[in-house]
Chains A and B, each alone.
Chain A
Amino acid sequence: MDKKLRLRINEISKSYKLKKKDYHKVIDSLSLDIFDNEFLVILGPGHCGKTVLLNIIAGLETPDVGFVELDGVKIDGPNPDMGMVFQKTGVFPWLTVMENVELGPRFKGEAKSERRERAQKYINLVGLQGFESHRPPQLSGGMKQRVGIARAYTNNPEILIMDEPFGALDAQTRYSMEEEISNIWSIEKRTVIFVTNNIEEALALGDRIVLLTECPARVKEIYEVNMPRPRDLMSEEFLLLRQKISENTDLSIDSEV
């Protein structure tokens, strides 16, 4: 398969200062290549470095060592080429669904009719038509996360980063959201980096699954998933791979609070 390199993560490390001279290392010389239009899942146990890694890719934080390159250009700050869907729904409660979704282009100063049209397209795509003028307090958790996804797409990012977007949802909603994100991705091809701590979710979505180690985070193993979509969560292939990853994962995956 001919793959075009989009994002290059090169030997990055990041530590946080706890007390005087006491550092907590969360990422340890992690390197990863991400290719055009792939759905990459980062699977990691517990609380280790996943969000920090995403924040670094998005330019919200800087690594202590190493760098991240998008199409050969070093990332040195937040930029609209990177769209992000956050773990905690960052939906603005004082704006309507429509106003939330069109936020990115509005910040760029795009004309109203233009950005509205695009926003509407993605509102329809995530199945929120009819809710355009609702405000977030009237929406369920799943709907808020849809707003977040539509909002990230509307800004036309090169890379879409999703940080455990379904972590706070109930199991039923989670399954249907997984199916939908997979659908949206097949319609609107884009490079997606999706973080989760759920093996099943990783297998349902990823072209490749990057398994991280316990703290500090490093790449432990990369799995290629060559199953057709939508994936059969009961097929032999699926279950075998699931077991394989599960055995290779540190036990603390269950210890997340």
Chain B
Amino acid sequence: MSRKKQISKFRYNIYAILSVVVFLILWQLIVSLGYGGIIPSPVVVFRTFLIKMTDSRPDGSTLPTNILVSLQVACTGLFLAIAIGVPLGWLMGWYKGIDRFVRPIFEFIRPIPPISWIPLTIIWFGIGLGAKSMIVFFASFVPCLINAYTGIKETNKTMINVARTFGASNFKVFTSVAIPSAMPLTFTGIRIALNSAWSTLVAAELLAANAGVGYMINMGRSFGRVDIILVGMVSIGIMGYIFSYVFKKIESVVVKWRTV
């Protein structure tokens, strides 16, 4: 990296840190001046955060335990959605027969909001990992499938013809032309899925859970502990950020041809 580039990168990092610092100072100022209402100051929230690392009151689990429970649910649901949704989307995009067969069911399930699955899954699976993973799965399955499907559909016709003139079979064209060219859109789908996974996860935990970050937030409300609510919200924000960062890194490795 050139020196000039390094300096500008450093400068943008400074901007990013400044924005967070300014936000925290404003928050503290508003609370200190008495305009905060029930909102606790960032210092209080940070203290609660530290205490919550080891203290299981008031909701019954420490913050790391809650985060772990939520992560487990999110990862299970998301993993299943990717593992089923992406290949199915690819196959539907390439093979008309599969498309015709799956589409009616898919189009029927698609408009049902993931959250409306919650009551059914509670009755079905109780309030454990299974139920919530199911809900996360439903929320993230749809964007995974649609984007994988569209990626295949948008495969450049010339590239398909190139492979065909080289004598490639239909399956070979699918695996060596259509799937690689569908990769960027597939990853876009996974990133959208990531977002909907988090939002439905928290909604599910608000309604049906005995641990997890969403559950902790809900308990914070029951006990009138706004600091607990804020700790929960900030944790979700940070986890979501880390998740999309990790996926972006994976994406830049898998589809590096697109970013050069």
Contact = CB atoms under 8 A, between A and B. Distances in A.
A79 to B, nearest CB: 6
Interface in A77-107: 78-80, 82-84, 86-90, 92-95, 103-104, 107
Interface string A30-70: 00000000000000000000000001001110000000000
B182 to A, nearest CB: 11
Contacts, number: 70
Contacts of A78: 161, 164-165, 167
Contact of A104 (B159, B166, B255): B166
A107 B258 CA distance: 24
B260 A135 contact: yes
A104 B172 CA distance: 12
A192 to B, nearest CB: 15
Judged by DSSP, the binding face of A is: loop
Interface string A128-147: 00000001111000000000
Interface in A181-206: none
Nearest to A154: B166
A78 B172 CA distance: 14
A213 interface: no
A3 interface: no
Nearest to A58: B165
Contacts of B156: 88, 90
A125 B62 CA distance: 68
Interface in B116-159: 156, 158-159
A135 B257 contact: yes
Interface of B: 156, 158-159, 161-168, 172, 176-177, 180-181, 183, 255, 257-258, 260
Interface of A: 55, 58-60, 78-80, 82-84, 86-90, 92-95, 103-104, 107-108, 135-138, 151, 155
